Every structure is written in structure tokens, then in C-alpha cells.
């Protein structure tokens, strides 16, 4: 095996790594916001709102990410009647995908909070909305932080799929390097190694954060 | 003053409260006793609409609170509630637990709320716990904080739902002492409890509930020494040794 191409092409990988990371960060943050909205919609008393949320989640969870990427890539410019930049398209597709899963996680996080918390807050005169925002969501969020971390790691790997619509993330760059160097295997090995380093580093960072959050319970 | 008239509550076909009538005057301490499942807690929870009555009326200060147009949050501000399981907010410190509702709901300014919070912490004897999280406190301490939290909204009446039932025996008295102090200060209170000695000492009136109904009500002296009803006698004979 020959890795001498790295001397010339390492910037391709660094560039790709940067875009991959950016896509994962954006999609996990925007996905969390959208996920919370979906969860609240799902808990709504109004049936239509509730069913929109359920339909959305079931559709996303029941169709392949690759199909969703193409749907956004082709569908979004048609609906909006404007040109959407490729990077944005990829970020939106990944966000939509992540939000459905995050919403389900969030729902279980909220359901894990004892009902007594809601009752205590309501008995103090807090509205339903304020109770949710001030009392339930912060606790639920803390509960699901490990799961959100896993979602983030998942998003890093999922983002490889948006290479099909020409976004120059890590996988796309790897394909470029393979084409230019006519090396089949080596660039893929390098890319896999980079993915592994990113996810391992994140796993470590997250377990550290989790420990710190837990310790705040016993200050 | 709280006036309850013909109050019914049922879950489907299961009746939990049947035709409850009761008047609670300002400054009065009402203690509700009775066997488990008799509807005591449900009745208490109806008073601040944590449970929705199926039928009947509850009038608080000339306001019919079961009316759909009433802003229930406003009614609840006037009625503090203390739960069996304390229900402190675990992600907030003691002082944050106490000051949260006054600042966010009543829009009291922060300094004022903290001053009030510290006064109340003094009252329940826990000023040194101001900045700790509830998880570090004993059950008795948590319940005293929960009382302070409810008092911070400066309610007109306090509802206690078996406030000592989840406590280790040696912590019961510290919580009861706080409630007795409130009674002395003239706070209107409705207390569901299994502590008969306490009920007798603190209550102006005792309601005995059984099978979803108020079976008997009287002053503690009369109810405990000369119960009129067979069911009351039976209940008391089982718990007073």
C-alpha cells in the first residue's frame, strides 16, 4: 500500500473533515430545536398538530436518508422557487433527518420526568407553557444529553451520504482523491481513520461532559 | 373563605368523591382523616383544581373556580400546596426553588424575592441551605423547603397532602413543627394526614372521610373522644392504640 499521496492531498482531507464536522454540528443543533418543536406538537391537545408531528416522524424514520436527501435536493428548490446552495441543502436534509430521531429521544426524556414536577409547578401558579420551559425541558434535556451525543456521532457518519449531491465533505473529497490518484483503497482507509478519530474523540469528550453534569447534582 | 357544594368526582364509572359539602373559614385549620382510598387527597387536589371536579361548585373568595372562564393559574397562586413527595425542582438550588414562582409568575424583582426567600428559610430553620441542591437534603429538610416554596407565593390558604407520609419517623416532628407554627400565625390550612396526635393538636375541625364521602365532621375533642358514626368509631379504634 502506498500512502505517499497524502503529502500532496492532505488538504483535501482536512477540508472534507471541516465540512463534515460543520454539517454534523449544524444538523444536531438545528435538529434539536426542530425536535423539541416536534415533541411539543406531538403533545398538543389539537389533533391536527399532533398528527402532523406523528406523520413527519414516522415518514422520516421509515424512509432511507438517501431518499430524503434527494427529496430535499430536488423538492426544496421547486417549492421555494429559488436556488438553494448545495451546502444548505445538505444541512437541511440532515437536520430534518436528525430532528425526527431527536424528537423521539426528547419525548422519552420528558416522559421520564415525574408528574409531581408538573403538579408542583402548576400549584405555584405557573402556566402550562412556563412549566414546560422552566421546569420540564431543562430536566429532560439533561436526561437525554448522552443520547444527543450519540446522535451527534451518528450525524457525523450520516453526513457522508450528502456527498451524492456534491457537497465537499470528507467522503466527497475522498472520492476526488481516489479519482485523481487512481488509488482504490488507500484514500478510503484514510477517510475511515479520520471518521474514527472524530467519533472516538467525541465519545471521550461527551463522557467527560456527562460526568461533569452529573457531579453538579451533588454539589 | 372556601365553600364546597355538592362536589362529585369520578373516573369513568368509579366514584372517588360523592356529594362533598364543606366550608373553610379564613384562619381555620381543617384536618382530613380517613382510610386510604377514601378520597381525602382527591378532595384536597380538587380545591386547587389539580383534579377537575365532575360536578358541584367550589367558591374561593366569591369566585366560582370550577367556571371555565376562570384563570386557574391565578386561583392557584392563592393556594399553596405541599405534596407527599415534596416535588422540589432538582435542577434548581434551594433559593431558586423558592424564588422561581414569585419572580416568574408574580414578577417580583429578584432582590425582593430573595429577601422573602431568606425570611422563609429562616422560618423553616434552613437558612444555611440556601445554595445547595435538593438532592443533598434529607426528606424532612426537603419538605420544609417545599413549604417555604409554597409560602413564597404568599398564598391565602395552604393545602397539605400527607406532608409527613414519605418521611423517616425521626423527621416527622420537624415538619409538623413548621405547620403548627403556621397554624399559630393564623394561616388557613387544609391538611390530609395520618398523624392523629398532630391532627388533634393543630386542627380546628376534623373531617372524617370514608368511601368517597365526608362521614363526620367535628372539633378534634369531640370527634376523637365521642365519635358519632359507627365507621368513625371503627376507624379510630384501629389506629388509636
Chain A nearest CA to B235, separation (Å): 30
pLDDT at A219: 42
pLDDT at B143: 97
- pLDDT tens for A80-102 read 888 888 889 999 999 999 999 99
Chain A nearest CA to B153, separation (Å): 7
Find out whether A155 and A202 touch, Cβ atoms under 8 Å: no
Chain B nearest CA to A119, separation (Å): 7
* Cβ count near A64 (within 10 Å): 10
Domains of chain A: 8-217 (1.10.3720.10)
The 8-class DSSP code of residue B157 comes to E
Question: What is the 3-class SS of A65-125, one letter each residue?
Answer: HHHHHHHHHHHHHHHHCCCCCHHHHHHHHHHHHHHHHHHHHHHHHHHCCCHHHHHHHHHCC
CA distance B85 to B100: 19
Query: pTM for the whole thing?
Result: 0.85
- Picking from A120, A130, A135, the nearest residue to B83 by CB comes out as A120
pLDDT at B167: 93
CA distance A159 to A23: 7
Alpha helices in chain A (DSSP H): 6-42, 47-62, 65-80, 86-111, 115-123, 128-130, 137-158, 170-181, 186-215
Mean pLDDT throughout B184-207?
Answer: 94
Question: Which of B89, B106, B130, B154 is the best mutation test for A, with the most CBs of A within 10 A?
Answer: B89
**Cβ–Cβ below 8 Å for A123 and B89:** no
Q: Which of A156-165, A187-196, B78-87: highest mean pLDDT?
A: B78-87
pLDDT at A170: 87
User: What is the percent of chain A where pLDDT is above 90?
Assistant: 59
Residue B190 pLDDT class (50, 70, 90 cuts): very high
| Record: fold of B2-87+157-238 | Rossmann fold (3.40.50)
Mean pLDDT throughout B156-184?
Answer: 94
Q: What is the mean pLDDT of chain A?
A: 90
pLDDT at B191 over 60: yes
Mean pLDDT throughout A122-131?
Answer: 95
- Picking from A116, A125, A216, the nearest residue to B87 by CB comes out as A116
- Picking from A120, A134, A139, the nearest residue to B104 by CB comes out as A134
Mean pLDDT throughout B1-30?
Answer: 93
A–B CB contacts, 8 A cutoff, strictly below: 71
CA distance B222 to B198: 15
- b/e burial code for range B219-234 (CB count within 10 A of at least 16 → b): ebeebbeebeeebbee
- pLDDT tens for A140-150 read 988 898 899 99
Angle between helices B110-123 and B94-104 (to 10 degrees): 130
Q: What are phi and psi of A5, to 5 degrees?
A: -60, -20
User: What is the percent of chain B where pLDDT is above 70?
Assistant: 100
Domain segments of chain B as ranges = 2-87+157-238
Chain A nearest CA to B74, separation (Å): 6
Query: Which of the two residues, A211 and A108, has the higher pLDDT score?
Result: A108
Question: Which of A124, A141, A145 is the best mutation test for B, with the most CBs of B within 10 A?
Answer: A124
Q: What is the radius of gyration, based on Cα positions, of chain B?
A: 18
Place of cell 432582590: B111
* Cβ count near A46 (within 10 Å): 9
Question: Which of A119, A120, A130 is the best mutation test for B, with the most CBs of B within 10 A?
Answer: A120
| Cα dihedral B181→B183→B184→B186 (10° resolution) | 130
Q: What is the mean pLDDT of chain B?
A: 94
Find out whether A169 and A160 touch, Cβ atoms under 8 Å: yes
Query: Which of the two residues, A176 and A117, has the higher pLDDT score?
Result: A117
**Cβ–Cβ below 8 Å for B135 and A217:** yes
Closest C-alpha to B159, from B41, B33, B51: B41
* Cβ count near A112 (within 10 Å): 11
SS3 A8: helix
**How would you class A215 by CB atoms within 10 Å of its CB: exposed for 0-12, middle for 13-18, buried for 19 or more?**
exposed
Mean pLDDT throughout B44-66?
Answer: 92
**How would you class B206 by CB atoms within 10 Å of its CB: exposed for 0-12, middle for 13-18, buried for 19 or more?**
buried
Q: Which of residues 108-137 of A touch B (CB under 8 A)?
A: 114, 116-117, 119-127, 130, 134-135
Amino acid at each position: 500500500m502506498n500512502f505517499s499521496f497524502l503529502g500532496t492531498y492532505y488538504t483535501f482531507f482536512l477540508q472534507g473533515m471541516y465540512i463534515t464536522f460543520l454539517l454534523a454540528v449544524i444538523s444536531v443543533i438545528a435538529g434539536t430545536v426542530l425536535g423539541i418543536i416536534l415533541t411539543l406538537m406531538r403533545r398538543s391537545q389539537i389533533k391536527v398538530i399532533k398528527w402532523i408531528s406523528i406523520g413527519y416522524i414516522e415518514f422520516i424514520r421509515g424512509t432511507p436518508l438517501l431518499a430524503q436527501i434527494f427529496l430535499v435536493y430536488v423538492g426544496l428548490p421547486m417549492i421555494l422557487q429559488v436556488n438553494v446552495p448545495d451546502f444548505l441543502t445538505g444541512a437541511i436534509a440532515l437536520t430534518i433527518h436528525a430532528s425526527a430521531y431527536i424528537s423521539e429521544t426528547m419525548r422519552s426524556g420528558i416522559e421520564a420526568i415525574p408528574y409531581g414536577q408538573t403538579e408542583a409547578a402548576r400549584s405555584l401558579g405557573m402556566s402550562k407553557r412556563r412549566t414546560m420551559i422552566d421546569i420540564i425541558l431543562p430536566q429532560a434535556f439533561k436526561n437525554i444529553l448522552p443520547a444527543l451525543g450519540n446522535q451527534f456521532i451518528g450525524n457525523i457518519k450520516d453526513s457522508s451520504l450528502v456527498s451524492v449531491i456534491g457537497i465537499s465533505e470528507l467522503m466527497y473529497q475522498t472520492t476526488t482523491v481516489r479519482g485523481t490518484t487512481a488509488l482504490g483503497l488507500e484514500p478510503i482507509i484514510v477517510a475511515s481513520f479520520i471518521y474514527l478519530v472524530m467519533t472516538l474523540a467525541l465519545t471521550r469528550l461527551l463522557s467527560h461532559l456527562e460526568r461533569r453534569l452529573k457531579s453538579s447534582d451533588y454539589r | 373563605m372556601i365553600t364546597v357544594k355538592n362536589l362529585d368526582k369520578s373516573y369513568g364509572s368509579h366514584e372517588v368523591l360523592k356529594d362533598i359539602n364543606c366550608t373553610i373559614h379564613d384562619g381555620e385549620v381543617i384536618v382530613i382523616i380517613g382510610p386510604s382510598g377514601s378520597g381525602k387527597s382527591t378532595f384536597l387536589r380538587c380545591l386547587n383544581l389539580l383534579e377537575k371536579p365532575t360536578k358541584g361548585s367550589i367558591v374561593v373568595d366569591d369566585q366560582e373556580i370550577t367556571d371555565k372562564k376562570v384563570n386557574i393559574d391565578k386561583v392557584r397562586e392563592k393556594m399553596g400546596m405541599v405534596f407527599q413527595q415534596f416535588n422540589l425542582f432538582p435542577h434548581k438550588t434551594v433559593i431558586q426553588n423558592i424564588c422561581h414562582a414569585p419572580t416568574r409568575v408574580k414578577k417580583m424583582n429578584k432582590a425582593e424575592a430573595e429577601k422573602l426567600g431568606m425570611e422563609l428559610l429562616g422560618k423553616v430553620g434552613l437558612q444555611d441551605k440556601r445554595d445547595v441542591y435538593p438532592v443533598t437534603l434529607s426528606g424532612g429538610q426537603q419538605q420544609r423547603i417545599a413549604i417555604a416554596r409554597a409560602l413564597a407565593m404568599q398564598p391565602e390558604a395552604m393545602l397539605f397532602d400527607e406532608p409527613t407520609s414519605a418521611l423517616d419517623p425521626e423527621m416527622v416532628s420537624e415538619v409538623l413543627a413548621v405547620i403548627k407554627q403556621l397554624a399559630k400565625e393564623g394561616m388557613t390550612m387544609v391538611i390530609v394526614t395520618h398523624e392523629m396526635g398532630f391532627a388533634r393538636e393543630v386542627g380546628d375541625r376534623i373531617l372524617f372521610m370514608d368511601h368517597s364521602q365526608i362521614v363526620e365532621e367535628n372539633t378534634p375533642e369531640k370527634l376523637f373522644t365521642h365519635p358519632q358514626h359507627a365507621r368513625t368509631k371503627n376507624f379510630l379504634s384501629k389506629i388509636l392504640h
